[in-house]
Amino acid sequence: MTADTAQRGLVLVVEDEPAIAALVRLYLARDGFGVHLERDGAAGLAAARRLRPVACVLDIALPGMAGTEICRRLREAGDWTPVIFLTARDDEVDRIVGLELGADDYVTKPFSPRELVARVRAVLRRAAGPPAGAEQPRVVGAVTLDPARRTVTAAGVPIQLTSTEFDLLAHLMARPGRVFTREELLAGVWGYAAHAGTRTVDVHVAQVRAKLGSASVIRTHRGVGYAADA
Ligand code: CA
């Protein structure tokens, strides 16, 4: 297993199917990322802790430890490195995003390696956030969101959001009252077009609402999309 840190940073790929792992490595390396490969879940978790990659690409079904468990343990330890899951089945998606694993994105097998690289770049762009001091904190109802510090509080209580959840809430709170369609949110928050499927928007909105609890400021406009309270 080799690790080389190219100019875009090191991506950890944990995938037990050699052909898929090799393809993912090739495309990420071609795009300027360093790639470290592991085939076993336990070794993958150890590598994530040891190498501090800029992002992790995790298969779900792995020998040793499931990809979901790797993610859960990283989050438990306060590690919010962006994670993209490789799923074998469409019906795993709700489970992945809904488990509070802090997954940032996923692709369903078979996937295009180009698409995966685009997703990795998108999560890194989002995780980087706007330049410090570029934006003032936004307040809607009891929720305060600070784009520079990337923090959210609800009724004064700090709320831990994944980078995707944060960006979704920030996007809505940037223009309170404006109704965004799911397609607009996919393009504006995830950074890619709606062919990925809009269900991921619904699942993430549900997740943000659950975390904000009674302070939630996200309103559903049936048949249209979502808005932050005006
Ligand atoms: Ca597998």
Mean pLDDT, consecutive 10-residue segments, the chain of 230 residues?
66 97 96 96 96 94 94 85 86 64 81 92 76 71 91 94 91 89 84 66 93 94 90
Q: What is the CATH number of domain 138-228?
A: 1.10.10.10
Q: In the chain, which residues fall in CATH 3.40.50.2300?
A: 10-128
CA distance 60 to 108: 11
The SS3 call for residue 171 is helix
CA of 81 to the centre of ligand 1 (A): 21
Q: Residue 75, Cβ neighbours under 10 Å: how many?
A: 18
CA of 59 to the centre of ligand 1 (A): 6
CA distance 183 to 101: 24
CA of 66 to the centre of ligand 1 (A): 9
CA of 53 to the centre of ligand 1 (A): 21
Question: Residue for token digits 């490195």?
Answer: 81
What's the pLDDT at 189? 86
Contact 89, 60 (CB under 8 A): no
Neighbours of ion ligand 1 (CB under 5 A): 16, 59, 61
CATH architecture label of 10-128: 3-Layer(aba) Sandwich (3.40)
Q: Radius of gyration of the chain from Cα atoms?
A: 18
What's the pLDDT at 133? 46
What's the pLDDT at 200? 83
pTM across the whole model: 0.63
